[in-house]
Structure 1
């Protein structure tokens, strides 16, 4: 297959932990051709969505782990698969990219994750579809309403709807210390909608990342355990990643969501679970492949490329029949 990867600059990859790098290594090991391009190289011209993409050759060395051919303009439908692996923030440029990728799909491109599904499944708000798995949650920008939520639940988490890596997350305990300032700051004085949730004490044991690939559950997860008094377990916020076997409750949640999300065109999803509760559904650029593989030996990237090959072949056969 010819696989194109839309990602951040390859030079910025931390290859000892980067999930996109693991995907690329697995694909290259199977003989697939790799191409890469960045957001600014995605264009619509003469009626076609194209990318100024470069062929990538992996060297197996560090820090110079790849060689890059000169870029050339290529239609996205000329690839067997296009991987959307641009990291957040999920800003307007990200949204514009999903629109262009959606047009490319109509022209015959196979894009994973499906651009409309990435755009329509906000990583915080998507959990509201599955209230049977969530703690009490409020989505609002109204200060008095947010204060009433705290008064009812006494210990709450307040977070932005567009955050990443644990940025902008606050815990307000029973004493309500700084609640007013946190609400004003988080809502930008009532102009921005945020999420408040009842605090889950099991965060001390880790914010669990559980991966869904091709509608199937990866048998191991990664618990991101807060360090040094932090309330956030995100690896970007200094959390320690510890692999674990899924519990019965983890599997219950994952097995309920996996087929629903896969039908939407979400080939790779990262569920965040604290204790017994679903807290986020990550669809933009889920990670943790390498940490799980290094600690358990399970080839997560292999499972991903298996699924990619199946779905890309199915897509190709569908286009032939049409």
Structure 2
């Protein structure tokens, strides 16, 4: 099996990224791995689709760090027919390209759709990802799992919303990821509210969400694969992310700390409530960010944390992900291409 990982850029990849863990697991199971970036597709006059892939050397790596080093220094550029790739795993973050390379932000979904039409299994499904380009996608999930939310560019609307929530409000951009421009507002009279509004609204629409007091203890990142919690050896692919002192964000890159977490029946019930929509949209691998009985976000593009979870539980959760892709390739062969990519993506 040949797997192509679509990323924002090869230079920005790190040894600790979940994508690296997935690539390492794939190579360890004897598969060919290549990386693809937004500028690598070629759609030729005869309607054939080619891609300039960056092939990871075909050798056994003892550590993910070694694979990453080889990717950076030894990867061989090869122009191949996209049909020669069995699976394209879309692992780019559109928000990272939105400002400086807006042309690149939607390339994965655009060319992923063309690749799927040519028989390649594309995960997550590009049509589903096209509908999930910003956090408005989250509003399509059941109200029971969502905090009360306002989406607006009007500071008057936002002030009214803040006034109605005495426990506070989280303000963040509709488009974005990684905890950038996320603020906790305690009162509509907060002195720097205008400055915060200007900083966040410069990126477009804003989301105001009711603050969940349980967030002070951090959130839970839980991976779902094929719509169900990812498990291996009796452990769930999950962790609690605890924010640093004085920090509202729990993201690891924002000095948040990762800890083991017990997945309760209540958390599993939350995951079950979002499963039908994820299956419908062909979302193969996603990350839920859960606080209390609510989901703050559903990460469908580049959910991260598998490397950290491996360290916490001594379980390599990347392996069952690759095993699932192997089964999808086998199903494609059985059905001889007569099955929609969105179904294969979540099968």
Counterpart for residue 36 of structure 1: 35
Task: Pick closer, same or farther for the CA change 1:308–1:123 going to 2, 3 Å.
Answer: farther
Q: Does the residue aligned with 2:268 lie in a helix, a strand or coil?
A: helix
CA distance in 2, matches of 1:66, 1:245: 37
Counterpart for residue 118 of structure 1: 129
CA distance in 2, matches of 1:150, 1:120: 29
Query: Runs of 5+ in structure 2 lacking a partner?
Result: 231-235, 340-347
1:184 has 2:185 as partner: no
Q: Does the residue aligned with 1:66 lie in a helix, a strand or coil?
A: helix
Counterpart for residue 335 of structure 2: 318
Q: CA deviation at 1:228?
A: 2.6
Q: CA deviation at 1:291?
A: 1.0
Calculate the TM-score normalised by the size of structure 1. 0.91
Check whether the contact 2:290–2:297 (CA below 8 A) recurs between aligned residues.
yes
Listed as ranges, the matches of 1:37-52 within 5 Å are: 37-46=36-45, 47-52=47-52
Listed as ranges, the matches of 1:72-151 within 5 Å are: 72-89=78-95, 91=98, 92=102, 93-122=104-133, 124-129=135-140, 130-151=142-163
1:203 has 2:203 as partner: no
1:66 has 2:70 as partner: yes
CA distance in 2, matches of 1:316, 1:83: 18
Q: Does the residue aligned with 2:216 lie in a helix, a strand or coil?
A: helix
What do the CA deviations read for 1:56-103 (whole angstroms, capped 9, x no partner)? Answer: 126446466325353221122221111111234263422133112112
Q: Does the residue aligned with 2:298 lie in a helix, a strand or coil?
A: strand
Task: Pick closer, same or farther for the CA change 1:8–1:180 going to 2, 3 Å.
Answer: closer
CA distance in 2, matches of 1:121, 1:70: 33
Listed as ranges, the matches of 1:238-317 within 5 Å are: 238-317=255-334
Task: Pick closer, same or farther for the CA change 1:307–1:204 going to 2, 3 Å.
Answer: same
CA distance in 1, matches of 2:277, 2:258: 28
Q: Does the residue aligned with 2:194 lie in a helix, a strand or coil?
A: helix
Task: Pick closer, same or farther for the CA change 1:165–1:194 going to 2, 3 Å.
Answer: same
Task: Pick closer, same or farther for the CA change 1:203–1:316 going to 2, 3 Å.
Answer: same
Q: CA deviation at 1:12?
A: 3.5
Aligned Cα RMSD in Å?
2.1
Check whether the contact 2:94–2:133 (CA below 8 A) recurs between aligned residues.
no
CA distance in 2, matches of 1:127, 1:38: 27
Moved more, 30-39 or 172-181: 172-181
Q: Which has the higher strand share?
A: 1
CA distance in 1, matches of 2:172, 2:333: 41
Check whether the contact 1:147–1:179 (CA below 8 A) recurs between aligned residues.
no
Check whether the contact 1:52–1:72 (CA below 8 A) recurs between aligned residues.
yes
Q: Does the residue aligned with 1:111 lie in a helix, a strand or coil?
A: strand
Listed as ranges, the matches of 1:153-168 within 5 Å are: 153-154=165-166, 155-168=168-181
Q: Does the residue aligned with 1:53 lie in a helix, a strand or coil?
A: strand
